[in-house]
Amino acid sequence: MSRLADRSLLTRCEIFVYFGVYIAYIVVGLYKIYVLRDHIAKEAKFQFPAGWNFYPFSQRRRDDSNDELENFGDFIASFWPFYLLHTVVQGFVRWKCPRLQCQGFAAVCALALCLSLDWTSVLLLATVIASYYLVSLARSKHLVWLLSGGWILCINLLQKNEWWTERVGYSEYVLVIVTLSWSVLRGCSYSLSKMGAQEEELQRYNIVQYLGYAMYFPCLTYGPIIGYRRFVDRREEEQQNWLEFAVGIIRSAFWWLVMQCALHYFYIHYMSRDVRMVELMDSVFWQHSAGYFMGQFFFLYYVVTYGLGIAFARQDGIPAPSRPRCIGRIHFYSDMWKYFDEGLYEFLFQHIYAELCGRRSSPAAKFGATALTFAFVFVWHGCYTYVLIWSILNFLCLAAEKLFRALTSLPEYKRITQRYLGTVGAQRLYAMMATQLFIPAAFSNVYFIGGQEIGDFLMRGAYLSGVGNYMALCFCSYCFFQCSELLLAKSDGRLKTKTN
């Protein structure tokens, strides 16, 4: 019997308990963060800016601690005319002359960069883009990775260059560093895809196509990464769906508005920067909820930024990756990589992992490929201690998950659990064991979101605060896991129905 059927055999009362615990923990945890708002505003190391000048926000201060969110707001405020120009140009081009689509992409992007950035920033970006096209002519994967290593080193050095930072200003510094990092991935995707292409496909890898890809403005700075193979599969002459495009833009705007409203009352971004504020919560058990909501606000940020890029890409006929999946519906860490940032996952899998091993490779080769993949993730995100810890935990959690799946797939394991526990009992045991993987995987994200101090604090709270606390955490996590399994089963059932 399939695991999909196993989940459907749980009793209604049991399912009610799972969802009841899940919802109650989220609601109470959010309330406990809410009641700390005034104390946090008073004790913060810097003063929050005044909130919106209308009721009910006029008496509140807004948490502006998340630099990424603030920089994105500044970026949209400065560059929104170029989003509009891109839409107008592409609407006209696809109506009159679809073959000029890539020229339109590159022209709008070049105009945006030249009118908005210092000449040193434009030169840097132009050099990165040009270097990958030139190295692709040599058709050497080793040269591509050598070039990428050089650019990653250069980006890390730029982050410590005070002269350049002072020259361009902090906002442009952040914009250029982020854009350079994405450009490295786009350059790799183009060059490596070209080397794997057949002779008859090389016409799709000309310089015009490349410039359109490397200078696609809606995804240039805030993503998501779209692989070159997706880009060249775009449907240039397909009729534009303006309603779907409007819905995508409105969805991003709506969630940005929700997040901005929430930051007048829930200072979760500041809590991720100041562990003293997390310590103010009633108990270690409720401090775990702070980690959960750090993850949810992190997720909403990417729903907004990626959602914007995806809406434009699909309007332009590009089969963009899916929007990030809510972390509340992800209970295996491998799914976090697959469904949170689908574009980055495809890049890592196609160009690193799959190049190092295959389906028939030995377990040692697969573990080695996974380790090298996370080594790239570490250096690409920046060689910081908290990123290293996050990368190592990611690797260990994925390795443990693979061992767990291998164990539970053994015929002997299935025979024993079926004999002594029955179908439903085996499913419960499966969820109990998987919960022990879910807990460290969930807390590992806090290192990436909030840094080492808050990550260490919550990890200690989970594992070093007594048996009672850990048992309570395990029970809640078990309920979360079962809820995610049930939601996945429902989603799979709908997919099968549509397919049939």
Among 262, 322, 332, 292, residue whose Cα is nearest residue 446: 292
Average pLDDT along the chain: 90
Q: Among the options 39, 269, 288, 381, which is catalytic? A: 381
pLDDT over 80 at 500, yes or no: no
Q: Specify the pLDDT at position 493.
A: 54
**Tokens standing for residue 323:** 């929007």
Q: 233, 285 in Cβ contact below 8 A?
A: no
* Share of residues in the chain with pLDDT > 70 (%): 96
381 given a catalytic annotation: yes
In angstroms, rounded to a whole number, what is the distance separating the alpha carbons of residues 188 and 136?
9
- For residue 6, name the pLDDT band (cuts at 50, 70, 90): low
The arithmetic mean of pLDDT across residues 323-352, rounded, is 89
In angstroms, rounded to a whole number, what is the distance separating the alpha carbons of residues 464 and 461?
6
The arithmetic mean of pLDDT across residues 319-345, rounded, is 88
pLDDT over 50 at 495, yes or no: no
**Tokens standing for residue 91:** 């609407």
pLDDT over 60 at 496, yes or no: no
Q: Specify the pLDDT at position 383.
A: 85
pLDDT over 90 at 492, yes or no: no
Q: Specify the pLDDT at position 250.
A: 96
pLDDT over 90 at 489, yes or no: no
> Is the peptide bond preceding residue 218 cis, with omega within 30 degrees of 0?
no
Q: Give DSSP secondary structure letters for 32-65.
A: HHHTTHHHHHHH-SSPPPB--SSTTTTT-B----
- For residue 159, name the pLDDT band (cuts at 50, 70, 90): confident
366 vs 110: which has the higher pLDDT: 110
Segment 242-266, tens digit of pLDDT: 999 999 999 999 999 999 999 999 9
Q: Is 24 left (phi over 0), alpha (psi -120 to 50) or beta?
A: alpha
SS3 244: helix
Q: Specify the pLDDT at position 476.
A: 94
Segment 454-476, tens digit of pLDDT: 999 999 999 999 999 999 999 99
Which amino acid is residue 257, in one-letter code? L
Q: Specify the pLDDT at position 320.
A: 93
Q: 71, 174 in Cβ contact below 8 A?
A: yes
Q: Which residues pair with 61 in a beta bridge?
A: 50
In angstroms, rounded to a whole number, what is the distance separating the alpha carbons of residues 191 and 136?
5
Q: Specify the pLDDT at position 63.
A: 92
Q: Specify the pLDDT at position 435.
A: 94
Segment 176-227, tens digit of pLDDT: 999 999 999 999 999 999 998 888 788 889 999 999 999 999 999 998 999 9
pLDDT over 80 at 313, yes or no: yes
Q: Specify the pLDDT at position 109.
A: 97
pLDDT over 90 at 326, yes or no: no
Q: How many CB atoms lie within 10 A of CB 208?
A: 14
In angstroms, rounded to a whole number, what is the distance separating the alpha carbons of residues 244 and 307?
12
**Tokens standing for residue 334:** 């491998």
The arithmetic mean of pLDDT across residues 38-45, rounded, is 90
* Share of residues in the chain with pLDDT > 90 (%): 71
pLDDT over 60 at 499, yes or no: no
The arithmetic mean of pLDDT across residues 20-33, rounded, is 94
In angstroms, rounded to a whole number, what is the distance separating the alpha carbons of residues 84 and 76?
11
pLDDT over 70 at 353, yes or no: yes
Q: Specify the pLDDT at position 238.
A: 75
In angstroms, rounded to a whole number, what is the distance separating the alpha carbons of residues 475 and 482?
11
